[in-house]
Amino acid sequence: MKSDLFAAIEAGGTKFNCAVGTGPDDIRASVRIATTTPTDTLHDVMEFLQNASKLGRIAGIGVGSFGPIDLNRQSDTYGYITTTPKEGWKYTDLLSSMGELFHAPVGFDTDVNAAALGEYTWGNGEGCDPLIYITVGTGIGGGVLVNGRPLHGSLHPEIGHLFIPAIQSDAPNPDGICPFHGDCLEGLISGPAIAARWGAPAETFPADHECWGEFSTLMALALSNLILTLSPQRIILGGGVMHQAQLFPMIREEVQRMLNGYVQTNEVLQDIDNYIVPPGLGDQAGMLGAMVLAKQAKGR
Amino acid sequence: MKSDLFAAIEAGGTKFNCAVGTGPDDIRASVRIATTTPTDTLHDVMEFLQNASKLGRIAGIGVGSFGPIDLNRQSDTYGYITTTPKEGWKYTDLLSSMGELFHAPVGFDTDVNAAALGEYTWGNGEGCDPLIYITVGTGIGGGVLVNGRPLHGSLHPEIGHLFIPAIQSDAPNPDGICPFHGDCLEGLISGPAIAARWGAPAETFPADHECWGEFSTLMALALSNLILTLSPQRIILGGGVMHQAQLFPMIREEVQRMLNGYVQTNEVLQDIDNYIVPPGLGDQAGMLGAMVLAKQAKGR
């Protein structure tokens, strides 16, 4: 008899990471699909899922998507990507075709809430309440778990767009690039923002380049505000830009300097090396979080 | 037979608001005690409670306190006010004497988490998830409920100390006054900060004074960040400074301008008049929230 499998789809602005399996040590099939048009990309996703369903019954599907997305089950556009600036993807229905095809329950959340869930279940966030997961890549997104469950509310966190105090910048083009907010966090230190402001792709700057000092200060301002708001038990920083490992000690030091002894927690004062950390699941956090969403959907 | 009563203590930096009863429509006795020294103030609180206990059995005690406080039940200093800058109150044990005297369970949280709980139970926050309550008075504090329960984590929210972008200020003394952070929210727009920066007590400025325009912009920056982080279903603004009713429409307009259409929720776009609101319980939110804490302590 074929065993129950779960399908995980991390829907990102650059690629869709898809897998079928039961957990990090049991991935039966996986594929990366470029994010082009909704029609083409979703066609390839469905093809992958149909082929993968020959390996076992798909008992649940989980989708963690870039956003903003509609998480309100009472809404006509539940399961849609909504007002994204991404060309061609505004008001895209991600879910209805998948669920119907496999007669399987579908879990749905933001890519970053999913990544937080992945880290909480199998990675560096086990048992942390609240837990924050932030990814810094082509955009900046943040997921939040409270009591182990993704934070929703009237929408979902949009931590990438936090307003932060301006600091003196030596960037050749200091202005932020967010089309909505200019100098918000994403507008200043996402990968494309670093490239636009400092004049070359982020990954081409050496570890001791001044752009990373500025990055650390700006990120530390955002994290300080998140600590003051959510009082998280851990913050995980992932995404392509955070592959620059030198950033972690720089960010930690800046957070301590800014909070200036006001937040008297062991995490901030003594144990910050275990407080602001990279993902335990590396770049698989989002996909594995989508697998947790699939399992939770089955369990409902 | 005497009925079960609940004791509520809102421990503030200026006064302790104490009451005994069962809810907003059934307050049997109440008193305001000036916050002087821990010994004197707590003596008067105990005296009030002993007298009030003749009205009925005290079945639970709730304390909502200014902070930072220790909420960790495993800690040696659980129930203490910890690193407060308030003269004489550092590491003050609030709870142990009360619980022992009445053999009653004691609920404990921040004054602002308590106020959020009061508004959620009996005021303007019913059913809102998440719910944020912010008070602007001698300091700025914020409480957060998620799933109807106060947010804790490694400590508790300290929203008053959020870092916000600097704006052009015409204040005679533009610098912020927070001893920890200078220009954080509390350092810029608490009552004493307004007085220090604009040269006269906040309540003496007319409704159209420019200090209120600056106040609204700075508060809107903080609220925009809280909306982007917590995605609250409602934000309640209380405290003495918020008695200036003209501030509400000004703050709402600034929040819409700053978010700039990015957060596509009905609350932000269409219904902001019911999104950023004054407390339904007026200045009794904290005390009544402490009564909810007392009832929850009994129910545990």
In whole angstroms, give the CA distance from residue A100 to residue A19.
19
Tell me how close the Cα of B264 comes to any Cα of chain A, in angstroms: 8
In whole angstroms, give the CA distance from residue A253 to residue A257.
6
Give the number of other Cβ atoms within 10 Å of residue B296's Cβ.
Answer: 19
Q: What is the pLDDT of residues B132-162, one digit of tens each?
A: 999 999 999 999 999 999 999 998 999 999 9
Q: For residue B68, what are its two tokens?
A: 């930072």
Please give the C-alpha separations between residue A33 and each of A13, A15, A16, A19, in angstroms, as whole numbers: 11, 5, 5, 11
Q: What is the pLDDT of residues B223-253, one digit of tens each?
A: 999 999 999 999 999 999 999 999 999 999 9
Answer yes or no: are the C-beta atoms of A216 and A251 closer than 8 Å: yes
The pLDDT of residue B2 is 60
pLDDT category of residue A22 using cuts at 50, 70 and 90: very high
Nearest chain A residue to B260 by CA distance is A180
Output the CA torsion sign for A263, B292, B12, B126: positive
Average pLDDT score, chain A: 95
Q: What is the pLDDT of residues A206-258, one digit of tens each?
A: 999 999 999 999 999 999 999 999 999 999 999 999 999 999 999 999 999 99
Euclidean distance between the first and the last CA atom of chain A, given in angstroms as a whole number: 24
Domains of chain B, first to last: 5-114+283-299 (3.30.420.40), 127-278 (3.30.420.40)
Q: What is the pLDDT of residues B201-224, one digit of tens each?
A: 999 999 999 999 999 999 999 999
pLDDT category of residue B1 using cuts at 50, 70 and 90: very low
CB contact, 8 Å: B250 with chain A? no
The pLDDT of residue A2 is 60
Q: Looking at residue B285, what DSSP letter applies? A: H
Q: What is the pLDDT of residues B71-106, one digit of tens each?
A: 998 999 999 999 887 889 999 999 988 877 888 999
The pLDDT of residue B68 is 87
- Looking at chain A, the whole-number percentage of residues with pLDDT higher than 70 is 99
Mean pLDDT of B112-140: 97
CB contact, 8 Å: A225 with chain B? yes
Which residues in chain A are contacts of B225 at CB distance < 8 A?
Answer: 162-163, 225, 229
- On the 0-12 / 13-18 / 19+ scale of CB atoms within 10 A, B107 is buried
Chain A (156-195) residues lying within 8 Å, Cβ to Cβ, of chain B: 156-159, 161-166, 180-181, 183
CB contact, 8 Å: B226 with chain A? yes
The pLDDT of residue B254 is 98
Helix (H, G, I), strand (E, B) or coil at B221: helix
User: How far is CA A61 from its chain centroid?
Assistant: 18
Chain B (4-63) residues lying within 8 Å, Cβ to Cβ, of chain A: none
Q: Looking at residue B36, what DSSP letter applies? A: -
Q: For residue B231, what are its two tokens?
A: 């995605």
Q: B163 and A265 in contact by Cβ < 8 A?
A: no
The pLDDT of residue A1 is 46
In whole angstroms, give the CA distance from residue B114 to residue B121.
10
Would the pLDDT of A274 be above 70?
yes
